[in-house]
Structure 1
């Protein structure tokens, strides 16, 4: 745990796990990697909407009501590469980060960005340099989903994951891939690239249900008690 409250930026790449570039592989090599398992959908129609709803656990009270007044913002946008620097600056300002300084007051505790851009990940790595105040207090999560079926079976994970022993229809194929990094908080595993096989063999986080993701993240922001082990 950090010695001061942190803030978080979540980047969700919807259906684009197969389109990876060097910056994301570099991010994964320094991050704590694993999977978010999804509950089986009742129908294929609007399956991506349901994936996003599970990631946000959007079936309950508001985020602020569940997590001790956590202030969260969600953006779902598509931008050209020329706008990335401005976008990144504005996102970080919402979290109280300006010019490499981490301000004690901010408009939001959590910003969730529904987008996929390799340059954005690279820009974040340049700003959150090891040893800086931003690196120690900004929790970054990069989540990528496949969007279509592929050969990726979580039932092969050992030891058996705890969520598989409880009720509910859980989907074992094409999970979301997640890499998380915050200096001094997340563990660095042996994963060297952002891929299913690499996370399965060398990731340290294994798998949890996608609808538990926000609970784990809120704990890291001092907004919820620890969920699970």
Structure 2
């Protein structure tokens, strides 16, 4: 557990999990990896809108009311990110990280970015190298989802032990989950996953699966804004 509250950067890319190359493997190798499961929609909706609604848990009151005054910013840039380093520097600035140092005050506690990742993850890791002041204070979550949700592969029924969400009411989709890797030096556990893929997370990921709508609660806990989910 960190001796000071963390600040969080969430990178979310929709429909890219099946197209991954090797660019995210380095992050997965130092992160705690697992899955976020989605509730099946009761009506036809865009898959991205459905995922965002559950990730942000928009059915509840605003974040600052739910999580002890949490200050959050959301940035969405569609499918293209240019001048990657400048973009990362701006996101870090919003969180109070500048020139490799941690400022006492920050404008936001959490920045949620809906982007096409490309080189963004590598730039974040370069800006927060292991052993730096920033790496122990920034909690990075990388979230990737599938563009398709057919039931042919990606079967979460194979996970053992079964998670508590499978016991509760609600139509939870047990295929094509969202892939999640979380990293903060000295805070998150490091599992045995060496690549960012469904198969690698199934075999070696340490986080198994939880409902997507509980994701922000877990992040808020790392920021000292909420009790541990399930505690």
Q: TM-score range by the shorter chain?
A: over 0.9
- 1:80 shift after superposition: 4.8
Hey, what's the Cα distance between the residues in 1 that align with 2:22 and 2:15? Answer: 18
Partner in structure 2 of residue 207 of structure 1: 209
> TM-score with structure 1 length normalisation?
0.97
Kindly provide the CA deviation profile for residues 111-145 of structure 1, in whole angstroms up to 9, marking residues without a partner as x: 00001223110011111111111000000000000
SS for the counterpart of 2:146 is coil
What are the equivalent positions in structure 2 for 1:1-229 lying under 5 Å apart? 1-78=1-78, 80=80, 82-150=82-150, 151-228=153-230
> How many residue pairs align between the two structures?
229
- Tell me: CA distance 1:125–1:163, structure 2 relative to 1, closer, same or farther (3 Å): same
- Tell me: CA distance 1:80–1:54, structure 2 relative to 1, closer, same or farther (3 Å): closer
Hey, what's the Cα distance between the residues in 2 that align with 1:221 and 1:74? Answer: 17
Kindly report structure 1 stretches of 4+ aligned residues shifted beyond 6 Å.
none
Kindly provide the CA deviation profile for residues 140-174 of structure 1, in whole angstroms up to 9, marking residues without a partner as x: 00000002125111111111111101111110011
Kindly provide the CA deviation profile for residues 196-224 of structure 1, in whole angstroms up to 9, marking residues without a partner as x: 01000000000000000000110010000
> TM-score with structure 2 length normalisation?
0.96
**Structure 1 segments unaligned to the other structure (5+ residues):** none
Hey, what's the Cα distance between the residues in 1 that align with 2:118 and 2:79? Answer: 12
Q: Give the aligned CA root-mean-square deviation in angstroms.
A: 1.2
SS for the counterpart of 2:18 is coil
